Amino acid sequence: MKARVTVTLKSGILDPQGKAIEGALRLLGIEGIASVRQGKVFDIEIADGDRAGVETALKKAAEKLLANTVIENYRVEVLP
Partner 1 sequence: MKSAVVVFPGINRERDMARALKLISGREPSMVWHADTALPPATDLVVIPGGFSYGDYLRCGAIAARAPIMDAVRAHAAGGALVLGVCNGFQILCEAGLLPGVLMRNQALKFISRDLFLRVERSDSPFTRGYNAGQVIRVPVAHGEGNYVADAETLARLEDDGRVLFRYAAPDGSLDPAWNLNGASNAIAGIVNAGGNVLGMMPHPENHVEPEMGCTDGRGLFAGLVEALDRAA
Partner 2 sequence: MLYRVTPMTRNEPPITPQLVAEHGLKPDEYERIIKLIGREPSFTELGIFSAMWNEHCSYKSSKVHLRTLPTQAPWVIQGPGENAGVVDIGDGLAVVFKMESHNHPSFIEPYQGAATGVGGILRDVFTMGARPIACLDALSFGDPAHPRTRHLVSGVVAGVGGYGNSFGVPTVGGQLRFHARYDGNCLVNAMAVGIAAADKIFYAKATGVGMPIVYLGSKTGRDGIHGASMASAEFDDDSEAKRPTVQVGDPFSEKLLLEACLEIMAKDCVIAIQDMGAAGLTCSAVEMGAKGDLGVDLNLDAVPCREVGMSAYEMMLSESQERMLMVLRPEKEAEAEAIFRKWGLDFAVVGFTTPSQRFVVRHGGQVMADLPIKELGDEAPVYRRPFVDSAKQPVIAPGAVPPPISNAEALRTLIGTPELCARRWVWEQYDHVILGNTVQRPGGDAAVVRVLDGPKALALTADVTPRYCEADPFEGGKQAVAEAWRNITAVGGRPLAVTDNLNFGNPERPEIMGQLVGCIRGIGEACRALEFPVVSGNVSLYNETNGRAILPTPTIGAVGLLDDFMRSATLAFKAGDEAILLIGETQGWLGQSLYLRDLCGREEGAPPPVDLDTERRNGDFARILIHENIATAVHDVSDGGLLVAIAEMAMASGIGAVLTAVSADIPSHAFWFGEDQARYVATVHSGAVDAIIARAGIAGVPVRRIGTTGGEALTVPGEQPLSVEELRARFEAWLPQYMAGTLVDP
Choice from 38, 46, 72, 78 touching partner 1 (CB under 8 A): 38
Contact yes or no for 36/9 (Cβ under 8 A): no
The answer to whether 70 contacts partner 2 (rule: CB under 8 A) is yes
Residue of the chain from 2, 10, 13, 17 that contacts partner 1 (CB under 8 A):
17
Which residues, 6 or more positions from 27, have their beta carbon under 8 angstroms from its beta carbon?
none
Q: Is 21 in the site for partner 1 (CB under 8 A)?
A: yes
Cβ-based nearer residue to partner 2, 55 or 72: 72
The reply on whether position 71 binds partner 2 by CB under 8 A is yes
Cβ within 8 Å of residue 37, ≥6 positions away: 8, 9, 15, 18
